[in-house]
Amino acid sequence: MSPVSRARGARAPFAVGAVLVLGTGLAVAPALVPDAVAPAVLAAAHAEAPLTDLDGEITDRANVLGDRKAEVQTALDRVADQTTLQLFVVLVDTFDGASDGTDWANQTATSTGMGRNDVLLAIATQGRQWGLSWDNNAPLSSADLDAVEAAATTAARAAANAPAGEGDWASVAIDSADALVSRASGGGGGGAALAVGGAVVVAGGVGGWLWWRSRRRAAGQAASTSQDELSRLSTDELDKRASTALVEIDDALKTSEQELGFAQAEFGLEATTEFQQVLTKAKSDVQQAFVLRQHLDDETPDPEAQKRAWLAQIITLADGAADALDGQTASFDDLRKLAERAPQVLEETTQRAEELTSRVGVSRQTLATLAATYPPTALASVSANPDQAASLVEQARTAVTEGRTALEKKDRNAAVAQARGAQNALGQAVKLLDAVDNAGQELAAAGPKLDKGIASITSDIADAGRLAPIITAAGDATVGPATAEAQAAVAQAQAAKQGGDPLAALARLTAAEAALDQALAPAREKSEADARAAALLRDTLGRVESQVRATDDFISTRRQAVGPDARTRLAEAIRLVGEARQLASSDPSTALRKAQEAERYASSAAQMAQQDVSGWGQQQGAGPNIGGMVLGGILLDSILRGSGGGMGGGQRRGGGFGGGGIGGGFGGGGFGGGRSGGYGGGGGRSGRGGRF
């Protein structure tokens, strides 16, 4: 598969989770059961305390699905394929240990490590009760929840009223799944929160890599996934887990790197050497995982056994990197001492927010000036940066206010979470505004480079006219097409000087010249060919490294929306750039080919990332919480609505050194691994329930 192609059979690999729990026996109301059979019904029912463990997407503790289990699984797959939700079904006999269905659902959600986007629907068939639990940050509207409730309770009522043993409980799950799909597709007149397709929403973790890790942590087991456990998964499920793992650990690395930067600025490089070493090793391991993902995505068909081995290795590498980062969490927190320094950090953050506010205005003016000169395509990656930066700055201010309120209430953990979130938000804002400045500089520098490139390739075109007969006589017909492409590239470059996209023109010009040089190489001396390749290599590497940096900044400041495909292409571009640099002095021609391939992957990554963000925005709508910290992957509410949080709380991907969920997560994370840490510091869930 070419680098611009999507992964084979791509699904919403880091889909948000929803869990449907069906209980075949809450305490049955005597009025609903004939006196003669009530004792038998109640005796047969097995009371279940809120669950602490799930078997997977379907947990049939009541053994009522029978041969329709596959049909239910198909319905759940539709949800995963067509929305960013992942629906799970659990069937039990009766609820026990909770006052009602809502409490039972909430306790089960907490105990099994449900995350921000995980929804738990609990239904007791014999007891005719239900409970719905969701995180307060879940991207679900009231209408979405109403649709699930109506579908589930209607089907459950029909199943409960059926003759004994004939209740169609499978339809409760199937109808609920169909309701979610319908809402996501607009069939319910809304459902914007249930993003689909290219819209990539944060993984709640249920059903994916995070969920399995959080279950083990809740049970006091090691978080790393065992090979035996992976061997029991279908290849499709293994693929989804691997994709989720890559997104999670990639976000964790980005947040850890940002958090490490804060620490280095405060305490110097020597004090942070060990953390830097751990982060470097983790990044190397994750780079290997991305290489394997790229092998799976290429055009070459892979044997089933090889595919499964690579997928398992991806998960293992991600697990190992997460464990290494998590191993430094306590030490990193000891270094930064945010709990002690929270008042100072909040004050410094306020001052920084004021400085950035003025930069936002300047950035808007810069973009307006650039837009008067260059086409929209040249500014696509930065056009929304000032708005996103402004949103981040405003939300950082809000976090500071909340942090100060937390200090007044003697809640240091909540203050730390807010301080960390505000710092990370402003850090992302700086990246966004810097990207606008860099774009202006690169576009301005492209003009002279175009003149130089046109002159260089024009010389090659002249050489082609002189050398083509010699090469053609030797049976090589590549000079003609290469010359035609070179002439077309010159025409585009000339047009770009009059108001077109100079960066795109420069890329085409360099690629065309390299192709023409390669076609002319047989008739040139090797030394001349190497010299030309080395000159083109310098220009190409400078351009592709700039694009890699810009794309990495784009993803890191919009990590909520960007999926594994763009990240994999970017990782491959980075790898190829490294190889090109290693070969630059010994084999410039091969190095140039590597650099050109890297440029194609970097361009593909940029396009995919922009498509993901565009799709995410369309599906999310224009609500007040869209953009800013949400798009940037900095989520605070869940951990702060709980009992403090910050240190080990929340279940958000993309953590980092120091506290919160998957080693960070809510509150902007800290130094830590990219996986779930259970509920630790608070969940923030709501619920509803009743009888059917």
Place of tokens 């995410």: 616
Residues of the chain with pLDDT under 70: 1-46, 54, 84-85, 97-99, 113-117, 135-140, 184-226, 474-475, 527, 619-685
Largest CA-CA distance found in the chain, in angstroms, rounded: 103
Full DSSP string of 207-229: TSHHHHHHHHHHTT--SSPPHHH
**Residue 391: half-sphere exposure toward Cβ, Cα within 13 Å:** 19
**Single-letter code of the amino acid located at 372:** A
How far apart are the C-alpha atoms of 54 and 68, rounded to whole Å? Answer: 19
The predicted-structure confidence for 597-653, as pLDDT tens digits, reads as follows 999 999 999 999 988 888 877 765 544 445 666 666 664 433 333 333 322 223 333
Burial class of 239 by CB neighbour count within 10 A (0 to 12, 13 to 18, 19+):
buried
How far apart (Å, rounded) are the C-alpha atoms in residues 31 and 36? 12
CA atoms within 13 A on the CB side of 156: 30
Pairing relation of β-strands 85-92 and 685-691?
Answer: unpaired
**pTM for the predicted model, two decimal places:** 0.53
Give the contacts of 558 (CB within 8 A, at least 6 positions apart): 388, 609, 613, 631, 632
Q: What is the predicted pLDDT for the residue at 489?
A: 92
Pick the closest to residue 691 from 89, 43, 176, 122 (CA basis): 122
Question: Is 421 within 8 Å of 439 (Cβ atoms)?
Answer: no
Which pLDDT value is given to residue 498?
82
Q: Of the candidates 566, 544, 567, 559, which has an alpha carbon nearest to the alpha carbon of residue 611? A: 566
Cα(670)–Cα(664) distance, rounded to whole angstroms? Answer: 5
Q: What is the CB neighbour count within 10 angstroms for residue 344? A: 11
pLDDT digits (tens, 9 = 90+) for 484-537: 999 999 999 998 888 788 888 888 998 898 888 888 887 777 767 788 888 889
In tens, the pLDDT along 276-331 reads 898 999 999 999 999 999 999 888 888 999 999 999 999 999 988 888 887 787 77
**Other Cβ atoms within 10 Å of 341 Cβ, number:** 14
